[in-house]
Structure 1
């Protein structure tokens, strides 16, 4: 399905790579979230349709199963009354309904597989969207801070130039400020591209420990109710 292919492309999207290539990272990140929200809505719609189709197929199969059972009973009644011709006709009808039910069984299996695939895509896209929203908020804040730092460095450089009157000392200070500004921009760029700081690593460990704790609690509750 083209829809699932588009969802897969969004799931494979590397936010850091997209930022690195984007002329306007903030605009790109907002568009990425918007695209995910639109695809999520489409997937939800398709899941609902797939489930409805599955239920319809199951209903049709049940109708044929019930009809086959009724015709088998009629065939038994005809045999008990010595009406073999009626019994044969009833059995023929029963066989026809059984064949139809078998056909619907295969369709139900195919539809169930499709519905399960859509459900899986929906869950993954919902998780990806939640993660991307959070990540985008952080990246946008970092990008804005990097711009503020850059502008602040430019202001400090102009002040230093004015104070030193543009002499040799001013030239040295300008060079020093450019180096400092470049270092700040590199640091901000590294953060923007997702570099993991020591705090990030400890935060990840704490989150992992929290998840493991929740998992243990869940297993204990299930063990008590078992």
Structure 2
């Protein structure tokens, strides 16, 4: 992801070295701070989008979970009315929604992890920006004194900002892994196989078992 690669470059930046090599240190500092502010805004937008996606997935999960309960209730009503065909349909819909609910539950788990990674990247970049602003003020002042007195090395006491790229690297790896998983899932969905037919048989068997259980729980006529 280009954005994350740019952030990684900013987090790894050694401000002292940049200032030492710059023809205009003040201009370079202003540009570096501006770049970090722009990247921070983009990451903030991505965090907001990730949270919104997480809320949407949670909503979908609840809809399907509620549907499981509702279709099971309808199956019970159909059994009471001795409508086995309708009961089978209702049980099948209940199982379909149960499967969807489980799928959304897994997506929520993955999305939560991704959101936390983005939040971590945002926090680290925010701290780096604050450090850069402070360091720029110090280094610019030192650079001005060095030019005034002819001491080119007056900035040696400003300190070196550390490496900050590990969280971004993990985030990039996580995103690539998720993309690979999504691609694999898509391929599996498009492939019709004997496994699909076996799943259908297993589902029908489960429906019949659930129907029998519903009938067994109905009050017996005396």
Q: TM-score range by the shorter chain?
A: 0.5 to 0.7
Match of 2:216 in 1: none
Q: Normalized against structure 1, the TM-score is what?
A: 0.66
Match of 1:64 in 2: 64
Range with bigger deviation, 138-147 or 74-83: 74-83
Separation in structure 1 between the aligned mates of residue 47 and residue 155 of structure 2, nearest angstrom: 40
Separation in structure 2 between the aligned mates of residue 83 and residue 120 of structure 1, nearest angstrom: 55
Match of 1:92 in 2: 92
After the TM superposition, which parts of structure 1 deviate over 4 Å for at least 4 consecutive aligned residues? none
Match of 2:156 in 1: 190
3-state SS, counterpart of residue 19 of structure 1:
helix
3-state SS, counterpart of residue 106 of structure 1:
helix
5+ long unaligned stretches in structure 1: 151-183, 196-226
Contact (CA 8 Å) 1:142, 1:191: kept in 2 or not?
no
Match of 2:197 in 1: none
1:98-142 CA-to-partner distances (Å, cap 9, x unmatched) read 122122222222222221111010100111111111111111111
Match of 1:3 in 2: 3
5+ long unaligned stretches in structure 2: 161-222
1:26-47 CA-to-partner distances (Å, cap 9, x unmatched) read 2111111111000000011111
Match of 1:107 in 2: 107
Q: 1:9 deviation in Å?
A: 1.6
Rg (Cα) greater in structure: 1
Separation in structure 2 between the aligned mates of residue 189 and residue 138 of structure 1, nearest angstrom: 8
Q: 1:77 deviation in Å?
A: 2.2
3-state SS, counterpart of residue 139 of structure 2:
helix
Mapping of 1:1-226 within 5 angstroms?
1-150=1-150, 184-186=151-153, 188-191=154-157, 194=159
Separation in structure 2 between the aligned mates of residue 142 and residue 83 of structure 1, nearest angstrom: 87
Q: 1:21 deviation in Å?
A: 2.3
Range with bigger deviation, 97-106 or 39-48: 97-106
What value does the CA root-mean-square deviation take over the aligned residues? Answer: 1.7
3-state SS, counterpart of residue 23 of structure 1:
coil
Say if 1:2 and 1:109 are closer, same or farther in 2 by CA, change over 3 A. farther
How many residues matched?
Answer: 160
Separation in structure 2 between the aligned mates of residue 67 and residue 185 of structure 1, nearest angstrom: 73
Q: 1:189 deviation in Å?
A: 4.2
